[in-house]
Amino acid sequence: LYILAASSLGVYGIILAGWSSNSKYPFYSAIRAAAQMVSYEVSIGFVLIAVVLWSGTFNLGGIVEGQKGHILGLINGYGFNPLLFPMAVVFFISSLAETQRAPFDLTEAESELVAGYQTEYSSMAFALYWLGEYANVLLMCTLNATLFWGGYLPPVDWAPLYMVPGIIWLFAKILFFFFVFSWVKATVPRYRYDQLMRLGWKIFLPLSLTFVFLISGWLMVQRVGLPV
């Protein structure tokens, strides 16, 4: 809950950056970025609810431990669960939109908005905004690895793999997702703004809400003990 609440505070910084530039293009970019972040935070919130329902805890360490031997007692990670794999895909794509990475980098579309809400900034102010953007990317990569792919656990629940320190497994997964972020940026064409909004509100929001109900129903059936 803290992570979701803290990540939403970035909207204020972006709006203030565009407004205080006293220029129309950074202001348009800031409004676009704020709308984009708010739109995809809704689906990210429902994805987090789905993971919390399945794991039964808000604690990130407990969520990771719940993924140990999750599939066939051998594979670590909720991402291989049929009910949670769609949530992993939704979370990853929403992470791209939340961090304004390609193909959702409409806040800095060069042909429309010059360089986005950072256009009027230079030197340290510009560097700090870029630092904040990449810190957000690293946060989303970390959450992807932690919530769905075992976090600090090795990919397979095999005793010799636990000899490798958990921090190394976690950093390896973070680097993998960072590579995927960069790969998507280099290969996928940019969406139009109407496509971006349609994807967030008409596809991801109903899909994530549907899977929250499916997971809740599945857990209730298991708790009651009905045959499945």
Least reliable range by pLDDT among 21-25, 64-68, 154-158, 207-211: 21-25
Whether the per-residue pLDDT at 19 is higher than 50: the answer is yes
Question: For position 175, what pLDDT does the model report?
Answer: 96
pTM here is: 0.90
Q: What is the pLDDT of residue 31?
A: 85
pLDDT of residue 54 exceeding 90, the answer is yes
CA atoms 45, 29, 198, 91: torsion sign: negative
Average pLDDT over residues 47-52: 94
pLDDT of residue 130: 84
Over residues 159-212, the pLDDT tens digits come to 888 899 999 999 999 999 999 999 998 898 888 888 999 999 999 999 999 999
Q: How far apart are CA 195 and CA 206, in angstroms?
A: 16
Q: What is the structure's pLDDT at 123?
A: 80
For helices 205-224 and 24-55, the axis angle rounded to 10 degrees is 10
Mean pLDDT of 117-138: 83
φ/ψ of residue 154, rounded to 5: -70, 160
pLDDT score at 227: 53
Residue type for 114, please? V
pLDDT band at residue 33, thresholds of 50, 70 and 90?
confident
| 57-112 per-position pLDDT tens digit | 989 999 999 998 877 777 888 888 889 999 999 999 999 998 888 788 877 766 66
Kindly report the backbone phi and psi dihedral angles of residue 22, in degrees, each rounded to the nearest multiple of 5, phi listed first.
Answer: 55, 40
**Alpha-carbon span 169 to 175, nearest angstrom:** 10
DSSP string, 23-49: -HHHHHHHHHHHHHHHHHHHHHHHHHH
* pLDDT of amino acid 142: 95
- Which pLDDT score, from 0 to 100, does residue 228 have? 47
- Residues with Cβ < 8 Å from 87, sequence gap 6 or more? 47, 50, 51, 148, 208, 211
**Which of the residue ranges 30-44, 82-96, 106-120 would you say has the lowest mean pLDDT?**
106-120
User: For position 111, what pLDDT does the model report?
Assistant: 62
Q: Is the pLDDT of residue 140 over 70?
A: yes
75 forms bridges with which residues in the sheet? 71, 156
Q: Which of 39, 20, 37, 205 is nearest to 119 (CA)?
A: 20
Instruction: Report the alpha-carbon distance of residue 22 to residue 33 in Å, rounded.
Output: 17
